[in-house]
Copies of this chain bind each other. A is one copy, B any other.
Amino acid sequence: MTKLPENLTIGQVAERSGVPHTALRFYEDRGLIASHRTSGNQRRYPRSVLRRLAFIRTAQRVGLSLEDVHAALATLPDGRTPTKADWSRLSQSWQEELDARIDALHRLRDRLTSCIGCGCLSLRSCFLHNFDDAQSADGPGAPKLKAATEGGT
């Protein structure tokens, strides 16, 4: 088990994180990660970049944009331990968004599931025929698709 140096090369980071080196430079351009340079202009990363990368990739997997991630990471200090206030800021700004996404996913999944079980093939209660309320759940301000049901089932 070789001891990891504090300064990782881009190749080491790529290998250990599973993130291609091209993407690492791309993230650096976008300000998501940072490196310092050797006298010969090569990038060197602190080990903590691996944590950042894990965070970035996880956030991406759940559908957040790099800009979202950037905004969140920007609220966290780079050089010091995050304070409770730092976390609170990051968490609260995402909580609502994450909850909404979880909700939307549940609704979509449950609809598919219940449709299988409901014997609704009569077209009367089948989800594709009553799908519109997925929209109206967005609030009273967006009932556009409600109109589509006027003609009846």
A: residues with CB less than 8 A from B are: 1, 3-4, 6, 15-18, 47, 50-55, 57-59, 61-63, 76, 81-84, 87-88, 90-91, 94-95, 98-99, 101-102, 104-109, 112-113, 115-116, 119, 121-123, 126, 128-129, 131-132, 134-135, 142, 144-145, 147-148, 150-151
Contacts and interface: CB of A to CB of B under 8 A. Distances in A.
B47 A151 contact: yes
Nearest to A144: B18
Contacts of A6: 151
A50 B150 CA distance: 12
A144 B16 contact: yes
B145 A18 contact: yes
A16, A106, A129, A148 interface centre (most CB from chain B within 10 Å): A148
Copy tally for this chain in the complex stands at: 2
Contact of A131 (B58, B76, B99): B58
A18 B51 CA distance: 40
A86 to B, nearest CB: 9
8 contacts: A51-B148, A54-B132, A58-B107, A81-B122, A94-B109, A98-B109, A102-B102, A102-B106
Contacts of A147: 4, 16
Question: Which 10 residue pairs are nearest across A and B when measured between Cβ atoms?
Answer: A50-B148, A63-B63, A91-B112, A98-B109, A54-B131, A18-B144, A4-B151, A62-B105, A102-B105, A62-B104
Nearest to A110: B98
